[in-house]
Structure 1
Amino acid sequence: MTQFQTQHTVPSRVGADRWRLQVVHRSAFRYAGPVRSSYNEARMTPENSTRQTTLRSRVEIEPAATVLAYRDYWGSTVTAFDLHGPHTELVVTATSVVEAGPEPHLPGPVGWAELATPDVLDRFGEMLRPTTLTAMDPPVVRAVRAAVGDAGPREAGHVVCRFVRDHIEYLSGATSVKTNAMQAWTHGKGVCQDISHVSIGLLRALGLPSRYVSGYLHPRPDAGIGEAVTGESHAWVEWWDGGWSGYDPTNSVEIGPRHVALGRGRDYSDVPPLKGIFSGPRSEGSTVTVEVTRLA
């Protein structure tokens, strides 16, 4: 087994508005026969930011693999690894301890005119263009423009997220990782990835730079200390309105101490928790489990 570990020694800042969380994320893949080689990338190490501090994080790989850690173009920590011996199963387990809190105080919002300036358009070009997973059709864009009305950019971001959540019902298994925003919108059902993609597509169509955030959510606001609960990978959105405003459209809540961020990108394809290719017999399936425990 290979381990890659990061650790930070920082003063504890746990208080009424901050939680210390342990997250154990395990992905297991089974193959029909011995796989000769595989090349993989894991984005399962939580970030450090003004809202969140990663105290400890390790990624364990079975069987043992050659590992390289780096930060990608979007700033996410990547654990890249490859295996070159026969194996019929691959197991990747990421264990992290994180202190998280509410969003930091943001500067005053800018207006629509400033968002349309060449400087902003150039600076955030990649977060303004639609992608294959986030593009939305003109009739939906017109509908959200009507819903936003005269709201300023910061308020408009929240209006868009509520608009999307009112239309799309959360239903586990209703879509796949390849489902795009318009497919989810038309279906009217989806998961956090779909709700985030639709929100991002509409935010960008209004002229708000926006990005996809990959992470975890502790599912219980009333969680007891030391109680391990079943969680899952989660996604939410951020848009720039003079500062990066975050919101969880799936749960219609502000980002807070229950949210643990892994990384950001234009859409899910920039920040999948685990991806790779292999040479050998077909995959017989995979299992993913996430366990979240409030420690303080």
Structure 2
Amino acid sequence: MSAQQEQGSRPSSSRWRLQVVHRTRFSYAGRVRSSYNEARLTPENSGRQTTLRSRVEIEPAATAYAYRDYWGSTVTAFDLHSPHEELVVTGTSIVEAGPDPLGHEHVDWATLRGPEVRDAYGELLSSTALTAVDDEVVDEVRAVVGDLPPHEAADAVCRFVRGHMEYLSGATHVKTTAMQAWRHRQGVCQDISHVTVGLLRALGLPARYVSGYLHPKRDADIGQTVTGESHAWVEWWDGGWCAFDPTNSVEVGTRHVTLGRGRDYGDVSPFRGIFSGAGSNGHTVTVEVTRLA
């Protein structure tokens, strides 16, 4: 915080410095003998985002190691072999985030249909179990898109999905597919992003699912900690990667912190693991976000 910026001030800035604390607490019905786990809680470094500090803490203490997975996400892997009745994993990061400073020349549909693009991005043009959409929905979107060039078509797809789906917390779960959410016209950011990714791919645009965080306030006070959100949005390739948040109908910018990218949620889930011993009593997740500058 600079000398001119006091707590509660609201400076204008093209980049925000954000602190994110993501805590997941697992409780068990009795003692667990051992567990093997992976956490994806380390924000990336990219053109629009710089990770200044990041740490993953584990209780009970465990030896951990970090590696980059196939999609480029940083994974903290650890295992526990002493009896425990609770596991708490906390990721704390400080990042500077803003809009992507690098522009690019948008390509046309003929380029997207060419072998070079299809060879380079084949995995991001194919449906997955979570992103597959029915032909009927694709036909409806094709009618909306018409003769628009790829970049404008992608923007139209994002707004089409949001215009037809209501954001409703608790309406779905992590295994809900795009079509299940679409039929009910309800879901959370994960569902809206899955539907959007599925439709972008169906039109011939390479698209990927992005996992991260969102500061909920557009005009956030510096120094004030608020309840944040794990969030999801999409990126598509039309000569370069473009990021858009279809849930909020905004371009990705100062309030968005990127953790990782993949084909769908399954590639970037913040935490996964297995354990042996007593059954699970469930888990709780809290995310706190503070704008520092």
Which residue is 1:257 aligned to? 254
Cα distance in 2 between the residues matched to 1:125 and 1:44: 27
**Which residue is 1:4 aligned to?**
none
Q: Does 1:135 align with 2:132?
A: yes
Partner Cα separation in structure 1 for residue 251 and residue 142 of structure 2? 22
TM-superposed CA distance for 1:72, in Å, is: 0.3
Give the corresponding residue for 1:58: 55
Kindly indicate whether residue 102 of structure 2 is the aligned counterpart of residue 105 of structure 1.
Answer: yes
Query: Deviation of residue 46 (structure 1)?
Result: 0.3
- The separation in 2 between residues aligned to 1:37 and 1:105, in whole angstroms, is 46
Give % identity.
73
**Structure-2 residue corresponding to 1:10:** none
User: Structure 2 length normalisation: TM-score?
Assistant: 0.96
By how many angstroms is 1:154 displaced? 0.6
Deviation at residue 176 of structure 1 after TM alignment:
0.1
Structure 1 residue aligned with 2:278: 281
Check if 1:16 corresponds to 2:52.
no
Instruction: Tell me what 2:212 maps to.
Output: 215
Give 1:104 shift: 2.3
User: Given that residues 211 and 266 in structure 1 are in contact (C-alpha distance below 8 angstroms), is that contact kept between their aligned partners in structure 2?
Assistant: yes
Aligned pair partner of 1:185 in 179, 182, 186: 182
Separation in structure 2 between the aligned mates of residue 105 and residue 95 of structure 1, nearest angstrom? 28
**2:71 corresponds to which residue?**
74
Shift of residue 15 of structure 1? 7.0
Aligned to 2:169: 172
- Determine if contact 1:44/1:78 at 8 Å carries over to the other structure: yes
| Count of residues paired in the alignment | 283
Aligned AA (2:113): A
Are 2:248 and 1:247 equivalent residues in the alignment?
Answer: no
CA distance in 2, matches of 1:263, 1:44: 9
* Pairing partner for 2:113 from 112, 116, 124: 116
CA RMSD of aligned residues (A): 0.9
Tell me by how many angstroms 1:107 deviates. 1.1
Deviations 1:202-229 (A, max 9, x none): 0000000000000000000111000000
Give deviations 1:24-82, integer Å, cap 9, x for gaps: 00000000000011000000000000100000000000001121100000000000000
Gapped regions of structure 2 (runs ≥ 5)? 1-10
Q: Secondary structure at the match of 2:21?
A: strand
Distance in 2 (alpha carbons) for counterparts of 1:280 and 1:169: 40
Q: Deviations over 1:228-263 (max 9, x none)?
A: 000110000000000001100000000101000000
Whether the 8 Å contact between 1:57 and 1:97 is mirrored in structure 2 is yes
SS of the aligned residue for 1:223 comes to coil
Write the distance in 2 (CA, Å) between the matches of 1:58 and 1:16.
Answer: 26
Contact 2:47 2:102 in 1 (8 A): no
Q: Which amino acid aligns with 1:25?
A: H
Asked if 1:202 is matched to 2:184, the reply is: no
